[in-house]
Amino acid sequence: MSLMSSSRGESSRRRGPALDVAVVGGGMVGAATALALARAGFATALVEARAPTPWSVDDEVDLRVVGLAPSSIALLDALGVWTSIRTSRASPYAHMHVWDAASGASIHFDAAKEGRDLLGYIVENSLVQWQLWQALDAAGVRRVCPAKVSGYEVLEDRVQLTLSGAETDVLSARLLVAADGAASPLRAMAGIETRGRDYAQRGIVAHVQTERAHEGTAWQRFLDNGPLALLPLSDGRSSIVWSLPEDEAQHVLALDDAAFFQALGVASDFRLGRITGATARAAFPLRLQLADTYQAERFVLLGDAAHTVHPLAGQGVNLGLRDVAELRDTLVAAREAGSDIAAAHVLRRYARRRRSADTMDAWGFDALARIYAWQASPLVAARGLGVRLVDKLSPIKRRLAEHAAGL
């Protein structure tokens, strides 16, 4: 952690913290955190290295999309941005169909049978981030951008940040929130270790046109080398996330369009017919990573800085937004009780609740990835039997759907 000796820093020490919370990282989760805390009445700043690119409905659909669960939609609605997101370019889906290539077993989720209109929405990451970013000023969030945190020091009643590239070189707040991504520099500054595993896989993403309509359904097929998801887009195309071992991913990325269309058609069992068109392809590495703790002195982690999970369940951003809601509620309760919002016992309550929930989900997704990697015939048969049983047992199936929805 950096020690500060500038006259500005000493002056700040005497005045006391000007802010309740400093959030570092302006992605979807970081921007949602700053907005949620400001709307809850906390003096909040958001520190970000670069502002997001303005989103436009005339632009091509972002390759990075997220399946927003009802819990995430409820949070975004409470923050006053959901209507703008939904009416800009969002694709509702009411069905999810998951099937196993090896056993043929499948499970189908239907929103109507769960007493709901929808299971969720597929939305571009950049659209969500842009709408959140646009709402910050009106909520009173102080945007410190461009800026990077080069160090911080914990004082008796605050955290003092050293900034580079900003109009001010010092920023102080009662609480520091790290939402600065999976490689989080702030997590490293705090001395918090992580554990997990590298899947030695890449997730290939693209938007594809198909012979048949996606039917407002999220499709997912488990193959022996990784899962393939086809997610419905509002323009009728499907967004794919195809998880493959490194060497196979590189091979697929190098295919010409005709060969790629055929390979993807085979992998999807031609469920939506032939692939007739596609955008450029991109890929990202897959890793399971969990921070050993979500808190330090006057410091908390959330979002990818706290956890990254396998994309097979599409829950990464939803887990991060649940972190946001939990932190907001914890800080509001502390303020109402007259406590220091950054007291150790307050942050411990947030950290325990979210790390417990995130750990269960992360290792649950990891277990699914391992189970679907089984190739021995007896294990494939057992897996198929299990999937068929879950599909027929309504209470278990309903609990799975409710958990994914964040209910």
Same domain for 144 and 263, yes or no, is no
Same domain for 119 and 260, yes or no, is yes
- HSE at residue 402, side-chain half, CA atoms within 13 A, is 10
pLDDT reported for residue 396: 60
Domain CATH for 345: 3.50.50.60
| Listed residue (375, 379, 401) closest to 390, CA to CA | 401
Q: How many domains does the chain have?
A: 2
Same domain for 160 and 270, yes or no, is no
Same domain for 241 and 390, yes or no, is yes
Which residues, including other chains, have CB under 8 Å from residue 94's CB and lie 6 or more apart?
A: 110, 111, 112, 117, 118, 119, 216, 217
Which uninterrupted H or E stretch holds 377?
helix 377-392
Read off the DSSP letter of residue 216: T
Any domain includes 338: yes
pLDDT reported for residue 290: 97
Q: For the stretch 199-222, what's the b/e string if a residue is b when 16 or more beta carbons lie within 10 angstroms of its beta carbon?
A: bebbbbbbbbbbeeebeebbbbbb
Tell me the longest C-alpha to C-alpha distance in the chain: 71
| Listed residue (265, 275, 273) closest to 212, CA to CA | 273
Check: CB of residue 214 under 8 Å from CB of residue 272. Answer: yes
The string of pLDDT tens digits covering residues 255-285 is 999 999 999 999 999 999 999 999 999 999 9
Domain CATH for 221: 3.30.9.10
Same domain for 225 and 351, yes or no, is no
Any domain includes 1: no
The reported pTM is 0.91
Query: Between 325 and 390, whose confidence is greater?
Result: 325
Mean pLDDT across the stretch 53-61? 95
**One-letter amino acid of 370:** R
Any domain includes 2: no
Same domain for 280 and 134, yes or no, is no
How far apart CA 136 and CA 146 sit, in angstroms, is 15
How far apart CA 404 and CA 65 sit, in angstroms, is 17
Task: Tell me which residue has tokens 């499948």.
Answer: 106
Question: Residue 114: phi, psi to the nearest 5?
Answer: -95, 5
Complete DSSP assignment for 322-361: HHHHHHHHHHHHHHHTT--TT-HHHHHHHHHHHHHHHHHH
- Geometric angle at alpha carbon 80, from 214 and 401, rounded to 5°: 40
Residue 395 is part of which domain span?
A: 65-83+91-127+196-286+375-405
How far apart CA 20 and CA 184 sit, in angstroms, is 22
Mean pLDDT across the stretch 100-109? 89
Written as six digits, the tokens of 46 are 């958001």
Same domain for 304 and 319, yes or no, is yes
pLDDT reported for residue 381: 79
Same domain for 225 and 279, yes or no, is yes
The string of pLDDT tens digits covering residues 180-210 is 999 999 999 999 999 999 999 999 999 999 9
Question: Residue 145: phi, psi to the nearest 5?
Answer: -155, 130
Same domain for 141 and 237, yes or no, is no
| Listed residue (181, 190, 157, 166) closest to 19, CA to CA | 157
pLDDT reported for residue 50: 95
Read off the DSSP letter of residue 4: -
